[in-house]
Amino acid sequence: MVDLPVVRRGNADDSYAVMAITEYAMTELSRQWGVVAPSEPFPDKTALDATWERTRQLYDFLSANADEWWVAEQYGRVVAFARSILCDGVRELTELFAHPQVQGTGLGRQLLSKAFPTEGARHRTIMSTIDPAAQMLYMGSGVFPRFPIRGFSRVPETVRIESDLLFTPAADDQPAVDSIGAIDAAVLGFRRSKVHRWLLATRGGFLCYRGDEVVGYGYVGRTGGPFAALERSDLPAILAHAESSASEQGLSSFYVLVPLINEAAVGYVTRRRYEMDRIVLELMIDEPFGCFDCYVAGSPFFL
Same domain, 70 and 116: yes
In a domain, 138, yes or no: no
Q: What is the mean pLDDT of the chain?
A: 95
Same domain, 265 and 172: yes
Same domain, 99 and 161: no
Same domain, 162 and 53: no
Distance CA 297, CA 303 (A): 8
Same domain, 209 and 258: yes
Strand 90-98, strand 123-129: pairing: parallel
Same domain, 256 and 209: yes
CATH of residue 14's domain is: 3.40.630.30
- Beta carbons of 83 and 66 less than 8 angstroms apart: yes
Q: Quick: pLDDT tens for 5-54.
A: 999 999 999 999 999 999 999 999 889 888 889 889 999 999 999 999 99
- Beta carbons of 297 and 260 less than 8 angstroms apart: no
Number of domains in the chain: 2
Where is the domain boundary, 102, 121, 140?
A: 121
Least confident of 125-129, 147-151, 221-225: 221-225
Q: Quick: pLDDT tens for 270-281.
A: 999 999 998 899
Q: Quick: pLDDT tens for 136-171.
A: 999 999 999 999 999 999 999 999 999 999 999 999
Beta bridge partners of 276: 152
Residue 1 has pLDDT above 60, yes or no: no
- Beta carbons of 219 and 203 less than 8 angstroms apart: yes
Same domain, 164 and 117: no
pTM above 0.75, yes or no: yes
Percent of the chain residues past pLDDT 70, beyond the cut: 99
Same domain, 241 and 160: yes
Same domain, 292 and 164: yes
Q: Which domain holds residue 274?
A: 152-278+287-296
Residue 303 has pLDDT above 80, yes or no: no
Mean pLDDT of 232-239: 98
Residue 64 has pLDDT above 80, yes or no: yes
CATH of residue 273's domain is: 3.40.630.90
Same domain, 156 and 221: yes
The 3-state DSSP class for residue 35 equals coil
Strand 68-74, strand 77-87: pairing: antiparallel
Same domain, 175 and 109: no
178-183 long-range contacts, CB within 8 A, separation 24+: 179/207, 179/214, 179/217, 180/205, 180/207, 180/214, 180/217, 182/214, 183/214, 183/215, 183/216, 183/217, 183/228, 183/229, 183/230
CB burial of 21-41 (b: ≥16 within 10 Å; e: otherwise) equals bbbbbbbbbebeeeeeeeeee
Q: Quick: pLDDT tens for 182-215.
A: 999 999 999 999 999 999 999 889 999 999 999 9
